[in-house]
Structure 1
Amino acid sequence: MSPPAARNVLLLACLTATLLTQALGGYVITTPRKWASNGLAQVCVYLTDSESVATGGSITVSVNKDSNEGGFGPPPVEAPKNTSLIAPKVITLDQGMSELCDKISVPESNDWQVNMKVEGKLGNVDVSYNKQVTIGKELHRIFVQTDKFLYKPGQKVQFRILSITGPFLKISDIKYDKIWIESPSGSRLAQWLNQDNSDRLIHMEFQLADEPEEGTYKIHVKQGPNKVSKTFKVEEFVLPRYEVTIKPPKYILGTDKKFNFTVCAKYTHGNPVKGNLSLTLDNSGWGSYKVVTTKTYQINGCKDIETTSEEMKVNFKEYYVYNINAAATVAEEGTGVELKADSVTANIDRTAISFKNQGKEKYMKPALPFTGKVKAEFPNGSPAANEPMRVCLGETCKNINTDAEGLLTFVVPPESQNTVQVKAVNYPRIKSDESNWRSVMYESSHTYYRNLVYSPSNSSLIIRPPLGTLSCTGGTSDITLPIMFATSNQTKANLHIQVVSRGQIQFMKSEEVEFVAGNLPIEEESLLAALKPPSPGAIEGLFNINLQLPPTVSPKAKIIVWYERDDGEIVADTQEVEMQKCLTNNVGLSWSALQMQPGERATLTLSAEPNSICSLGVVDKSVELLSSDNDDLTVDRVFEMIESAMISEYDNSQSDDWKYCEKQLKKHESTNGPIPVPARPIPEMMVEEPFAPPVLEEVDALVPDDADEAIRQKRSVWRPSSYYSDYSDALKMFDISGLYILSDLTVETRPCKQRASRKRSGSCRCGGGRFDPACGCECSGHHVSVNVVWKSTMRPYSQNRT
């Protein structure tokens, strides 16, 4: 074997046995990495060994404004550095207490990043951390809803105003500073100042003149620093008596010979319209490839119209059509009144089935099988039910059918390759008759990639959350969460659970679990290869935990579970669950009948929580036919506010392969040669190295004597980082959950690699400020000779390489 200095890749193991067997005292501190302005933040402290619990301890959390550390651009001139944002918060665990979660009130702040300092003593261990926390902007939105969008002269405009604030969607009762209505020409027609909002929902109206200015009007609302505008339109119009719609084919494949468009003409009360239909189809081609055809028919309600691929020239010899546009006009019998349908476009799809990753598992965990789930769909989004799929793990392949919902499930044994190939058996590639390189239909296939997690003890947790969306009960939802485990030389542990949603830790609990060997809940028919029995001393099985989720975790929450091994290693997993959009005040609205005759009496029933303020509006359906989609006050629009409160995996992420692996390298520089690292399980192939943050390296540049003085100076050569890892570990699980973890236990265990480098002399010849990628130098119109560090970014990977 060649010496390490001559090898292209050096491997480094980033762990030692002594570190894993010497826990320093055992504590864990968690807090969200993003706090809400004018809200609450949680800090949780756990003591994990009996000595620390008996001793107790306390920490002080302080937050200082940081002028711009970690942000972008220069710091504001007027911003003082290290100014306290909140009063220091002391969190004390009395003797005998093992855990405590406390809340910190975050004042209103315009700072984007602040510095959080955690200091104190837990057990007999000193604690000191400095971390950056993002301060999320205070959530606030004003909704203005008019009774309709289009008005005639002389009609009354009625509108209501509602303000919602914070991640928990509280209704604001703060007064409105100013409300005013503006004409199309910009004149202010009406104004209300200091409008009372104590009922938290206000209803207002404005009378239009008999001969008003026609056009688009604006309703402006100002509440503190928040402003919003709402438009409505005034013009003369005649309400339509019926509506014309076009329904395109569900989907059209490149191999389809014929397809149907359906045109419907119906009165607003639902009865069919008799008349003459004109349908125009356009294949969106250009030049001699363009086809436009118009057909006329008698219509009585709905009409199915068939056309062929040959007629629309879908597959030209030298040109493929990718969509067909349809437009329709219906003239009512007896009156001759014509109405046009909104035009529609039908796509010509060249791939029959698409695939979406639906499985909750994203990481291949040590010693546990990986369950992948892929949703197969036809172009219109309908499930590709009961379709045979060829699923391959390397050279091992198996035919598995999708279920009635188009879901494909496969199970991969641990320590297998990290890619799975899926192909739809009935939808291979279909070549063009005229050319081998052109395809009438492309192969329906999918490559499923799995990320790898490393544990020196081969310990794992896999949360198996329910598929689909949890229903909204309006109250606390009780769910049972199965968790698969694999461990070695340990029979029980203290399990900790936290649920993070809307930037808040909304649920937490701890309980002792026993690791009892048992069967894993996997589908044998979905196994791609046989499972090996556990190694000696290893235990695999399943246990359940019960959670109580408040309705405020909707629409999605991240659940993280972890425990600390006896040797000090943290074992963790995190999963996201989805819940229906839940509002704390359930409102119901229903008619006594779906359809009634003119003159009949109808009853509208409204139900809500006690002491609710309600605003009710009824409008003729004919008006909606003339209106645009102008309603902002919907459940979906309200929940859009919550998205900005969620914590991303990359908000102040703690995982940093470059810094972590560089530190580990320096720690092991004195060892004789690299420590072997588990091979990454992927097949022999050429792959590109992972991208890492660039590093500036100074190299000497030789330039002509008459060159500018500035060019004589050392030149900067950009090169990728030398340190990286193919694996993740427990720290990544906390990153995904949105939490900081501060601990003296072993959270990072992933093995590292270092790219070796060799000196290469070369001539960088470029001009005009160009960048020469051959040697990585930037030139300014001169020929420059440089010595650079040459990095190979492409190399063969082998499953059994060292």
Structure 2
Amino acid sequence: MTLSPPKRVDDKTEAIKGEVCCKYTYGQPVKGKVMVETCVTELYQTYKTSTKPCVVIHGEMTGCFSYSFDVAILRPHYQDRYNYLKISTFAAVLEEATGLIVNQTKEGPTITTFTIQADVSSYTRKFFKPQLPFEYRLTEADSTTRNPVSFEATQWFSPSDSYIEIQPISRTISPGLQPVVLYLTNPPKTAFRVITQVMSRGRIMHHSQDKYRVMKPADGTYKRSQPWCRNLKYCSSDKRFAPDVPSIKIELNVSCSMAPEATLLVYHIRPDGEVVADTESFKVEQCFTNPVKMAFTPSKEYPGYPTQLSLSAAPGSLCMVGVVDQSVYLLGGKNQITPKQLFSPLEHYNAIKDAPADSYTTLTRYCEAWFKKHGVVNSDELKFNVPHYAYLNTRFTYLSDYVDSSVAFKLSSLHIFGLLELRSRPCKKQFTYNMYRHRRSLGSALNDWQSDQSEGSGGRSLDHCVSESASVTAFQPFFVSFTLPYAAVRGEYIPLTVTVFNYLTECIEIELRLNDSNEFDLLNPERVTWMCICGNEAKRHDFVIVPKNIGHINVTAQAKSIPGDSQCPKVTATGEAIGIKDAVVRQLLVEVRQYYTYR
């Protein structure tokens, strides 16, 4: 049984909706009657007792039952006590065939005022580039507070105002050639080479370079560039704008070896040596380089009938097949190898989300070179109004309010050894005089040379494959079920309710028999009865037995599908569904009646 109450109730809610579902362990839907009680209760336990307001709904169900009612019925009881009350839901299902009752209770949600918790940082880039679109996403979540949400994005710096931006990839990419759109500002006037590199599983999976040339249209604008939001589901149709910058399209060959996540790095080198770069991480469909498929044909069959197992794989594959009853996995826990289990450890090698900051030594070395290049040799050349006692404890550190192309390489987990000019951002000196702090900003930076360095990681490969599970159901048209008490007394009248479930879509006639036994007497006039059962329905028959022997006795009920007759004209099942048998044997412990004498 599954009870699904509403996830959220607030002062803007107009209707309370939920669902109750009930099915047998073998998957068939339960047919019966349902009752749902929705109440307003205290969020915290108190000693005060009062009548709780409730709404009760009755109905009939076959598998699932959806309920809904106007919240105005309960609103007067909670409208002045938001965040102190909650919704409590109780549901009970009466099975039509056996009369058994199952129930479930769910506490929550808390009744709140309407609030939205905006999540910006999880889905938004932490850098922005001048002249290029900056995409941010707000996600709604339940919240009981009204805290403000803030988000900071750092400006990407280029001394030549040259930037490259990968159009955001929000969907999961399938293997094969995939187009990727790049936007550029201030591109070279001549043909230039764009280097493309893909990192996944801690190693380089793809590397290519192609030449491109951007020609300015006659009207002097780039409005015919690729639309920014064309492939994004988060953008509405009227927001699919194209920035007034040129764009180029590259073809990326995505392979299964890049799953589950890959990081794309693109960059080009300007004639003056400046590196213009960008990076983007994206999900890759989980697949294997050596796929294997397995299926049963047919997927449903009667017990004892043959079925065919089809297996397909690449030539030269070594395949291992395991076929067990589903109950083995239900009882054995997590002992089944699945594709998810194989890909889960690889997520450890996904790209980092935040670029690591430069060490103090690295930043100091770079900024000292930057200051020297711009004619600033020592701090005396910077004009500050310093208190007369500042000389007692004077020190300074370097910092920068910008990021540059070195961040793209860091986010790609790459280390550069060579003469690439990755760093170009301007520096600041932050002076500290005892408790006083003064900052001085310098002008725009010219191009400067610095090499970046980091450590590499070993590659990880996945050369084998696990297919998705294939299943075959041993489909019995009907089956018999009954229960007995654990123990009884000799001579006691024991009611025995036998239920027959029909899983066919057609009606069938069942011959139900309680087998003869010397261990008990049957009070019914007949041991055999006939019943008509239509598709996905169940019917029951009541027997009464009286145990005669002491100890464990066996009780056997047997059912058989037979052709329909005048007593069951609705029967439409034919062929293999006729003549099927099912039997159930249960044990009953019979004890001696004890007599007590009191004196």
TM-score (norm 1): 0.43
CA contact (8 A) 2:43 2:110 kept: no
Q: Does 1:664 align with 2:426?
A: no
Question: 1:606 Cα deviation (Å)?
Answer: 4.2
CA change 1:666–1:605 in 2 (3 A) is same
Q: 1:272 — aligned with what?
A: 30
Deviation at 1:740, TM superposition (A): 0.7
Cα pair distance change 1:480/1:751, threshold 3 Å: same
Secondary structure in structure 1 of the residue aligned to 2:159: coil
d(CA) in 1 for partners of 2:325, 2:420: 63
Contact 1:253 1:352 in 2 (8 A): no
What SS class does the counterpart of residue 457 from structure 1 fall into?
Answer: coil
The answer to whether the 8 A contact 1:329-1:339 is kept is yes
Q: CA deviation at 1:325?
A: 4.4
- Per the alignment, residue 319 of structure 2 pairs with 613
Which aligned pairs between 1:656-735 and structure 2 lie closer than 5 A?
658-659=363-364, 660-661=366-367, 664-665=370-371, 668-669=376-377, 673=381, 722-735=397-410
Change (3 A) 1:451 1:654: same
Are 1:457 and 2:160 an aligned pair?
A: yes
Report the counterpart of residue 129 of structure 2 in structure 1: 365
Pair 453,322 (structure 1): closer, same or farther in 2 beyond 3 Å: farther
Q: Does the residue aligned with 1:757 lie in a helix, a strand or coil?
A: strand
More strand by share: 1
**Residue 553 (str. 1) matches residue 310 (str. 2):** no
> Per-residue deviation at 1:463?
1.7
The partner residue of 2:16 within 256, 259, 264 is 259
How far apart are the structure 1 equivalents of 2:321 and 2:40?
Answer: 47
Are residues 546 and 526 of structure 1, via their aligned partners in 2, closer, same or farther at CA, if it must alter by over 3 Å?
A: same
In structure 2, distance between residues paired with 1:727 and 1:515: 28
Residue 4 of structure 2 corresponds to which residue in structure 1?
Answer: 247
Q: Residue 341 of structure 2 aligns to which amino acid in structure 1?
A: R
- Aligned residues of 1:465 and 1:575 also touching (Cα < 8 A): yes
Distance 2:138 2:353 in 1: 24
Structure 1 residue 583 corresponds to structure 2 residue 346: no
Q: Is the 8 A contact 2:86 2:107 kept in 1?
A: no
Please, what is the CA RMSD of the aligned residues?
A: 4.5
1:463–1:482 contact (8 Å) kept in structure 2: yes
Shift of residue 360 of structure 1?
A: 7.4
The residue that corresponds to 1:710 in the other structure is none
- Match among 419, 423, 427 for residue 752 of structure 1: 427
Return the offset for 1:300: 3.1
In structure 1, C-alpha distance between the alignment counterparts of 2:438 and 2:79, rounded to whole Å: 45
Is 1:257–1:310's contact at 8 Å kept on the other side of the alignment?
Answer: no
Q: Deviations over 1:221-275 (max 9, x none)?
A: xxxxxxxxxxxxxxxxxxxxxxx21122364343214302221223334243224
Q: 2 CA distance for matches of 1:641 and 1:313?
A: 52
The aligned amino acid for 2:127 is Y
Instruction: Give distance in 1, aligned partners of 2:111 and 2:260.
Output: 35
Assess if the C-alpha contact under 8 Å between 1:564 and 1:570 holds in 2: yes
Deviations 1:159-188 (A, max 9, x none): xxxxxxxxxxxxxxxxxxxxxxxxxxxxxx
Partner of 1:565: 270
Secondary structure, aligned partner of 1:734: helix
**Deviation of residue 747 (structure 1)?**
1.6
Larger radius of gyration: 2
Residues 1:791 and 1:733: Cα distance change in structure 2 (over 3 Å): same
Q: How does 1:62-461 map to 2 (within 5 A)?
A: 244-249=1-6, 251-267=8-24, 268-275=26-33, 277=35, 279=37, 281=39, 283=41, 285-286=43-44, 287=46, 288=48, 291=52, 295=56, 297=58, 299-301=60-62, 302-306=64-68, 308=71, 311=74, 315-321=78-84, 323-333=86-96, 335-341=98-104, 343=106, 345-346=108-109, 348=111, 350-351=114-115, 354=118, 362-366=126-130, 368-374=131-137, 449-461=152-164
Can you list the C-alpha shifts for 1:76-135, whole angstroms capped at 9, x where unaligned?
A: xxxxxxxxxxxxxxxxxxxxxxxxxxxxxxxxxxxxxxxxxxxxxxxxxxxxxxxxxxxx
Identity %: 23
Question: Comparing 631-640 with 290-299, which one deviates more in the overlay?
Answer: 290-299
Q: CA deviation at 1:607?
A: 3.6
Note the C-alpha offset of 1:748. Answer: 0.9
Q: TM-score, normalised by structure 2?
A: 0.56
In the alignment, does 2:338 pair up with 1:634?
Answer: yes
1:645-694 deviation line (CA, Å, top 9, x unaligned): 3353668765768423355346623598559xxxxxxxxxxxxxxxxxxx
SS for the counterpart of 1:369 is: coil
Per-residue CA deviation, residues 256-296 of structure 1 (Å, 9 max, x unaligned), is 14302221223334243224546565645122599585957
Shift of residue 741, structure 1, vs aligned partner: 1.4
- 1:492 paired residue number: 191
Residues 516 and 351 of structure 1, relative CA distance in 2, 3 Å threshold: same
Structure 1 distance, partners of 2:137, 2:268, is 30
Q: Quickly say closer, same or farther: Cα 1:294–1:479, change in 2 above 3 A.
A: closer
Give distance in 2, aligned partners of 1:453 and 1:289: 62
Q: Which has the higher contact order (CA 8 A, sep 6+)?
A: 1
Paired residues of 1:654 and 1:731 also in contact (CA < 8 A): no
Q: Look up the equivalent residue of 1:460 and give its one-letter code.
A: Y
What are the superposed Cα offsets for residues 464-484 of structure 1, whole Å, 9 maximum, x if unpaired? 254411124xxxx22222211
Task: Give, in whole Å, the separation in 2 of the partners of 1:327 and 1:630.
Answer: 32
Query: What amino acid maps onto 2:132 in structure 1?
Result: P
8 Å CA contact retained: 2:180, 2:252: yes
Deviation of the 1:642 alpha carbon: 0.6
Aligned to 2:249: 544
| Matched residue, 1:107 | none
Quick one: which amino acid aligns to residue 330 of structure 1? V
Residues 584 and 748 (structure 1), Cα distance of their counterparts in 2 relative to 1, 3 Å cut: same
Q: Is the 8 A contact 1:254 1:440 kept in 2?
A: no
The CA deviation at 1:313 is 7.2
Q: Secondary structure at the match of 1:743?
A: coil
SS in structure 2 at match of 1:470 = coil
Letter in 2 for 1:569: E
Q: Which residue of structure 1 lines up, in the alignment, with residue 481 of structure 2? A: none
**In structure 2, do the counterparts of structure 1 residues 488 and 378 end up closer, same or farther at CA, with 3 Å as the change threshold?**
closer
CA distance in 2, matches of 1:548, 1:354: 36
Contact residue 457 and residue 488 of structure 1 kept, 8 A = no
Structure-1 separation of matches of 2:76 and 2:334: 39
Inter-CA distance 250–551: structure 2 relative to 1 (3 Å threshold): same
Deviation string 1:420-478 (CA, Å, 9 cap, x unpaired) is xxxxxxxxxxxxxxxxxxx99969x9766433111111111112254411124xxxx22
Contact 1:247/1:262 (CA < 8 Å) preserved in 2? yes
**C-alpha contact (below 8 Å) 1:330/1:339 kept by paired residues:** yes
- Out of 516, 525, 529, the residue aligned to residue 215 of structure 2 is 516
Name the CA distance, whole Å, in 2 between partners of 1:640 and 1:757.
48
Alpha-carbon distance between aligned partners in 1 of 2:96 and 2:410, rounded to the nearest angstrom: 66
Change beyond 3 A, Cα 1:583–1:283: farther
Residue type of the alignment partner of 2:137: V
Equivalents in 2 of 1:671, 1:353: separation in Å?
A: 46
Take 1:348 and 1:452, find their aligned partners in 2: how far apart are those partners? Answer: 42
Is this contact kept in 1: 2:261–2:347, CA < 8 A? no
Number of the residue aligned with 1:435: none
Give the secondary-structure state (helix, strand or coil) at the position aligned to 2:22.
strand
| 1:330 positional shift | 2.8
Aligned partner of 1:781 in structure 2 is none
Distance 1:335 1:292, change over 3 A: farther
Gaps in structure 2 of 5+ consecutive residues: 230-237, 384-389, 442-599
Cα deviation digits, residues 198-236 of structure 1 (max 9, x gap): xxxxxxxxxxxxxxxxxxxxxxxxxxxxxxxxxxxxxxx
Give the C-alpha shift of residue 544 in structure 1.
2.3
